[in-house]
Structure 1
């Protein structure tokens, strides 16, 4: 029932942040960022079984390990981008959050380029255009 602990920490941090925002907005932001980092650490400490399961599924499906690495890196970029953008929004920096989200999307496209190349090569070979 770790979700209960995670939820409790999040609610407690939110209440503290709201209470401090009126008097010390800088501490409010620090509490929010600190709680976010703690929650991320708690979540990442439990992710290894999921990663192992994903690796097993990729191996069982006969898919190249390279694609599994791309998948895991992409998921990491998504999670970090979301955390960073939300933290920027909490600090009142909506424009900065939008830039972080744009950067995350671009990094995902860059990470996926090998997959696009493989798909394009497969499509060309299917239509007879590949060498």
Structure 2
């Protein structure tokens, strides 16, 4: 499914939401949530080729696979958190969305610790010993 079809799906769902929210608000919210999940699944299915490219670039640049995997996990967490937070915001649950975003940030920091440690070790390796 191309970008035009995804945009059309989003626009049709938005129009249906506007029509249905007056008569059946619960179904209208459910429609938007399902549409968001469908678009997310379609996009995720396209990411395989991007992941392959990033891995091959990492191998060509002689970057440790652990660092590449960590970066890809961080990107994945960011997208999943954004989707979850936006869906909960659409449902009128801003406080839950804020907690999802906080959890995502904490998980990203946890995953980034080995990379931060490697960067600090590299910087310390350039400094003369005192």
Match of 2:52 in 1: 52
1:41-94: CA deviations, max 9, x gaps?
111111111111000111111100001101110111011001001101100111
Q: Where do 5+ consecutive residues of structure 1 fail to align?
A: none
Counterparts of residues 1-131 of structure 1 (less than 5 Å):
2-129=2-129
How far apart are residue 128 of structure 1 and its match?
3.7
Q: Which runs of 4+ in 1 moved over 2 A?
A: none
Shift of 1:129: 4.8
TM-score computed with the length of structure 1 as normaliser: 0.93
Unmatched runs of 5 consecutive residues or more in structure 2: none
TM-score in terms of structure 2 length: 0.93
- CA change 1:84–1:129 in 2 (3 A) is farther
Q: 1:15: Cα distance to partner?
A: 1.1
Secondary structure class of the residue paired with 1:46: helix
Number of residue-to-residue matches in the alignment: 130
